[in-house]
């Protein structure tokens, strides 16, 4: 007898996910009347089924399928923490995860929604929990942090088995503590956030320090929002 998620996944059979060069978001081909896309990353796209909305299906690009089992093992190690989604199962194409309500911190900035300090503390606690499980809490950014009733839920744990520190969270935390009060409640245009994201990835070539980068960014935000 099929599980509820197995029945729901049948509506995704016509969807193909393709990766793109230069760490760009994946391309989705095909469609499904029984599901909607709720997220796009560089390795996979996430869908929610209308007939089983409590599940989220993370469909990997065809050349990234080797990452499925690795990410499933990370979720198994993190099992029991309220900071992360639940992974119910995997197939050769996708992960079956719990669907999480909420708004990403990226969308909070877009809409001018207040981000409470509690969310920042939650991410710090979640990172410590990850380390206790002998994993590496990296690739934590605005689109991977969901706000649920003023608390944090972290999405996408696929890079927790990779070595090194990308400093993305450290920089976000510093920017929140030092500069967020200047933009709190002020919607930031999508094109500007995307431009800032591209500047961030090029900051080491163009700015002596992260503080210099943030001063440059704030000049643009202040000017565009007047």
Six token digits for residue 219: 């000049």
pLDDT mean for each 10 residues of the chain (226 residues): 76 91 89 88 92 94 94 95 95 95 95 97 97 95 94 95 91 91 89 80 73 76 53
> What pLDDT, on a 0 to 100 scale, did the predictor assign at position 7?
82
Give the residue carrying structure tokens 């909070």: 108
Task: In whole angstroms, give the CA distance from residue 151 to residue 120.
Answer: 9
Domain with CATH 1.10.510 in the chain: 103-224
Domain with CATH 3.30.200 in the chain: 4-98
164, exposed or middle or buried, with CB in 10 Å at 0-12, 13-18, 19+?
Answer: exposed
- Burial string for 60-75 (b: 16+ CB within 10 Å, else e) reads bbeebbebbeebbbbb
Q: Report which of 84, 64, 59, 89 is spatially closest to residue 153, judged by C-alpha positions.
A: 84
Written out in words, the top-level CATH class of the domain with range 4-98 is alpha beta
Q: Where on the phi/psi map is residue 23: left (φ > 0), alpha (ψ -120 to 50), or beta?
A: left
Six token digits for residue 50: 């209308």
> What pLDDT, on a 0 to 100 scale, did the predictor assign at position 222?
58
Helices (H), the chain: 4-9, 67-78, 105-111, 117-132, 168-179, 190-201, 203-206, 210-224
Task: In whole angstroms, give the CA distance from residue 58 to residue 68.
Answer: 9
> What pLDDT, on a 0 to 100 scale, did the predictor assign at position 226?
45
CATH of domain 103-224: 1.10.510
Sign of CA dihedral 199, 201, 203, 209: positive
């Amino acid at each position: 007898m099929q599980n509820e998620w197995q029945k729901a996944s049948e509506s995704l059979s016509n969807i193909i996910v393709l990766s793109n060069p230069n760490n760009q978001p994946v391309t989705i081909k095909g469609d499904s009347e029984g599901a909607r896309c709720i997220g796009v990353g560089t390795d996979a796209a996430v869908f929610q089924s209308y007939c089983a909305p409590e599940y989220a299906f993370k469909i990997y690009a065809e050349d990234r399928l080797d990452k499925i089992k690795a990410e499933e093992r990370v979720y198994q190690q993190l099992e029991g923490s309220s900071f992360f989604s639940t992974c119910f199962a995997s197939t050769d194409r996708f992960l079956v995860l719990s669907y999480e309500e909420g708004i990403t911190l990226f969308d909070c900035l877009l809409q001018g929604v207040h981000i409470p300090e509690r969310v920042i503390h939650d991410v710090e606690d979640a990172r410590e929990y990850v380390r206790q499980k002998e994993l590496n809490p990296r690739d934590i950014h605005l689109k991977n942090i969901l706000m649920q009733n003023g608390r944090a839920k972290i999405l996408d744990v696929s890079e927790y088995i990779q070595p090194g520190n990308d400093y993305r969270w450290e920089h976000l935390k510093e920017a929140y503590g030092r500069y967020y009060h200047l933009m709190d409640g002020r919607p930031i245009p999508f094109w500007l956030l995307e431009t800032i994201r591209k500047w961030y990835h090029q900051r080491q070539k163009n700015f002596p320090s992260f503080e210099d980068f943030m001063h440059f960014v704030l000049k643009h935000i202040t000017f565009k929002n007047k």
